[in-house]
């Protein structure tokens, strides 16, 4: 079984709770273990929160794409915006030397710890940012 969702969402954090619930319900229906659901939802939450905080500093009404592709062997989440983008080399997340995450700028590091792969493209051809999060699985339900 495969499920693909493409959601065009306003860059409005008030809708994030409902988005988390929808994605969690689909993952649960697939038979995804609860700890994996929690990891994927937190990573998606961080990616969407980055859009709210950073993509559109001018504050105008803007949208972004949330894509979820759920398969037996992997979960793919993509978050794509057409915002200002950022310089990946100068805006890398920083961890404290003792391994604890810094209070700010930790979203990408959190995503990397929760997912199998995290790819960032910024700027995209449209000028924004694309985050591609993949969690490999042994096998999901039929």
pTM: 0.82
- Percent above pLDDT 70 for the chain: 82
Bond before 123 cis per omega within 30 degrees: yes
Domains of the chain (ranges; CATH) run 3-136 (3.30.565.10)
Instruction: Report d(CA 47, CA 10) in Å as an integer.
Output: 14
* Most confident of the following: 4-8, 59-63, 94-98: 4-8
Report pLDDT for 93: 29
């Amino acid at each position: 079984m495969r499920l693909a969702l493409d959601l065009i969402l306003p860059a409005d954090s008030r809708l994030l709770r409902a988005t988390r619930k929808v994605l969690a319900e689909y993952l649960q229906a697939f038979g995804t273990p609860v700890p994996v659901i929690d990891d994927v939802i937190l990573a998606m939450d961080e990616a969407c929160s980055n859009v709210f905080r950073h993509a559109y500093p001018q504050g105008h009404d803007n949208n972004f794409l949330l894509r979820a592709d759920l398969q037996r062997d992997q979960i793919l989440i993509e978050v794509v915006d057409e915002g200002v983008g950022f310089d990946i080399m100068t805006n890398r997340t920083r961890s404290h030397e003792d391994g604890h995450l810094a209070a700010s700028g930790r979203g990408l590091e959190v995503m990397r710890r929760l997912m199998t792969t995290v790819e960032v493209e910024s700027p995209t051809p449209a000028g924004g940012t694309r985050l591609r999060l993949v969690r490999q699985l042994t096998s999901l339900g039929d």
